[in-house]
Amino acid sequence: MSKNDNQHETKPSFVFEKKNYFLMLIGLALMALGYILMIGGKSNDPNVFNEAIFNTQRITIAPLLILAGIVVEIVAILYKPKAANDE
């Protein structure tokens, strides 16, 4: 037996594939958009209440976008692309 028979040369591989990183970027973008949509609603005068803080954008849409981003991140981590060669 030669030395090469016992040792297999393995190519170093990354934990995630290109598609995983792409999904992670989409998830981060969704979360960032959700946080950006939450910005605002303050009043210039502290003695005056501003109703804009309770609009649909800040109460419903932004949290749903953040939650969707978290779900996409979980999917990106758990997603395993099909290997071309399963040998």
For the stretch 31-45, pLDDT in tens is 999 999 999 877 788
Rounded CA separation 73/22 (Å) = 10
- Which residues are within 8 A (CB) of 16 and not within 5 positions of it... i.e. 6 or more apart? 24, 76, 77
Tokens for 36? 């950006």
- Which residues are within 8 A (CB) of 79 and not within 5 positions of it... i.e. 6 or more apart? 19, 20, 23
- Provide the whole-model pTM: 0.74
Model confidence at 50: pLDDT above 90: no
pLDDT band at 46 (very low <50, low <70, confident <90, very high): confident
Model confidence at 87: pLDDT above 60: no
User: Crossing angle for the helix pair 62-78 and 18-38, nearest 10 degrees?
Assistant: 170
